[in-house]
Amino acid sequence: RSLYIFRKRAMPDPTLASFDAPNADISCVRRVRTNSPLSALTSLNEPIFVESAKALALRILKEGGNDDKSRINYGYLLTTSRPAKEVEIREINRLIDEQSQRLADGWLDIQEIAFIDTENPPQLPNGISPRELASWAIASRVLLNLDENLTKN
């Protein structure tokens, strides 16, 4: 499931190992279905996944429409290839509102959560604040961590 990675047979990559990567000594025709708690922990905290979520959030805000419902649907289309169900829209909307409030209250560092490079932040779409981008970055981490995305079959 990875492209262009230098992989040593004697020393497996820790990120790939957390996703139950097969042994590199032999070819693997079919992967077994797997879902480990370590996969979820890795996808929530590993820097490459956090940066991917930030980039996904920016893309959703740029391309996903003008309201949260259409943006949530777009996020689901990008991550799961299907539109969001009504209950999912409500839950993600609630998450965005809660995180936006936590950010407004100063519990979290907006710049650190919103931007990959805090020294050179990207151009935000019109009407989008760094706090809104940070809220969407947190929601994007949830979207990327859905069981539909982590469970391999």
- pLDDT tens, position by position, 53-88: 999 999 999 999 999 999 999 999 999 999 999 999
Whether the per-residue pLDDT at 153 is higher than 60: the answer is no
Task: Classify the phi-psi angles of 21: left when phi > 0, otherwise alpha if psi is within -120 to 50, otherwise beta.
Answer: beta
8 A C-beta contact, residue 110 and residue 130: yes
Residue 101: which H helix or E strand, with range? helix 86-104
Q: Sketch the domain layout of the chain as residue ranges.
A: 46-150
Residue 115 to residue 75: CA distance in whole angstroms: 18
Closest CA to 125 of 83, 65, 82, 46: 65
**Percent above pLDDT 90 for the chain:** 53
Whether the per-residue pLDDT at 146 is higher than 70: the answer is yes
Helix, strand, or coil (residue 151): coil
Categorize the per-residue pLDDT at 1 as very low, low, confident or very high, splitting at 50, 70 and 90: very low
* Burial (CB count within 10 angstroms: exposed 0-12, middle 13-18, buried 19+), residue 2: exposed
